[in-house]
Structure 1
Amino acid sequence: MTNDQAAHRLTVVGAGVMGTGITTMALGHGVPVLLVDVDRAVLDRARTAISQQLRHAQLMGALPADRAVGELTTSLSVRDAAEATAVVEAITELPEAKAAVLGEVSSVVRPGTPLISNTSGIPIAEMAEWVRRPDELVGTHFMNPPYLITMVEVIQGPRTGAATMAAVTALLAALDRKAVVVRDAPGFVTSRLLHPMINAAARIVGEGTATVEAVDTLMQGCLGHPTGPLRTADLIGIDNLVDSLTVLHKRTGDEACRPCPLLLDKVRAGELGRKSGRGFYDYGKALS
């Protein structure tokens, strides 16, 4: 472990798809991680998923060869984050849930500890009302899978302090990530562009204009989208996508962000994408 990695003790709150992916990225770069969730079974599944993702990242050449993997510990209590040098909140995109978690974390960590919300759409200015020291709150939007995608959208809220921005930039540098800083707004840049596009693609399928495969093939071959919007929806998690679109619609009034009927139908049917084994495509079985 280099001095850059030794300086960091990361806590990740939320052991879902993004929380496990962020944990994998940090561990693979030699940073120790405390992973917190309210459900022991979820933590156990996350530990298995992280082991699989570390092997995948190594096979893809996405991890530095000269660093030992960081130590993973798990906990059911946010209070165990007291000694963290930074905390990443990576729970579902529901304002009430994020408010509860960020408020509790803020009361536990030492002053000066960056609180990093991995959010896809809730403005940082809004979340700043939920924490004790708003200058310590900053937004990030890691793309999935975060252990393979090296660019990270970083959202500086109107009350985010310079010390927090410097600390987050240093953490991302230690993780070999490129930070692109943007200003605060609902959906920021990536979600504001990507999520309405996926919604439109699903609407086209729902209206019978084209099949799922046709939409993705055309977007790949004609417009250069690397995977197609509906495969991307399956990777994001269709429930997460609906939550994010709902946040965007409520805060912008943009009808393009109102979740279309097909997305809502899939959530009701439990067809959430790769994590459930079926979404727009069939993956055979749910991912661990």
Structure 2
Amino acid sequence: MRRSAVLLSASLLTLPGCAGSVDGAGPAGSSASDGSSAATVSPEVATAVDAGVVSYREYVLEQARQTREASAVFTDAVRAGELEAARAAYAPSRVGWERIEPVAGLVEELDGKLDARVDDFEGVEDPDFTGWHRLEFLLFERGTTEGGAPLADQLDADLATLERELAEVDITALDVATGATELVEEVSRGKITGEEDRYAHTDLWDFAANIEGAVAAVERLRPALEAQDPQLLADVEAGLAEVQAGLGPYALPEGGYASYETLTEQDRRRLSAQLAALAEDLSRVPGALGLE
């Protein structure tokens, strides 16, 4: 995925569902919170960022809708007792969520219900352990759909609530800027180890979706960064292209990705290094565009 970087706006958003201001952001050219001097951005750059944020918000809502619909295929199979169909639908049901995970996480009460792993609970039988990974354990570790219907019902309900609440969430330019970095860091610091989908081993699906989400944020704010810091844009584009190329050999002809267990140690190390470098480049974007 050869694209660009995520940014910020010194101007304020006043559109319905968008933030009236960027939390912690001062005027362009002001000192950043770490004492460094933020770059000065022109009105044209600020306007380009604002337009990108509006477009990104539309993308978020579309991904939330797609997640709800894809998950319905998954949960229908669980309720029907169709084990293999449910297993096949598990990874695709998560793609939209993984693309927008940092923004979806702004609905805090749902983040843990939908996507928490067993590590956050007393064990797999903890009644608070719900969502995708609870069903993943049932389907892939225990090899059954028995007892999954209530969990499937709750997943459907929680995703419907997420879609409604995201429509009311304020998304700032800073959310877009940091979200791309967070998506890459999440892969670099966690998913690259295979810890996310430890029963299904579908981590590469999540990995790819996280990168796709970073690309989506970057694309919408590309004009601003191109005007403000073309070299940083080139660095981010090169990093995204490297990561995509690294995933390419694991892509399946029918769509999706091979099991995480097929990832070689050499490729894991290489991808980890590439992701760390990409995250570092993305972390420079807010300063380059005048955001604290």
Report the TM-score when normalising by structure 1: 0.29
Report the TM-score when normalising by structure 2: 0.28
Higher relative contact order (CA 8 A, sep 6+): 2
Q: Which has the higher strand share?
A: 1
Q: Answer with 1 or 2: which has the greater Rg.
A: 2
Q: Which has the higher helix share?
A: 2
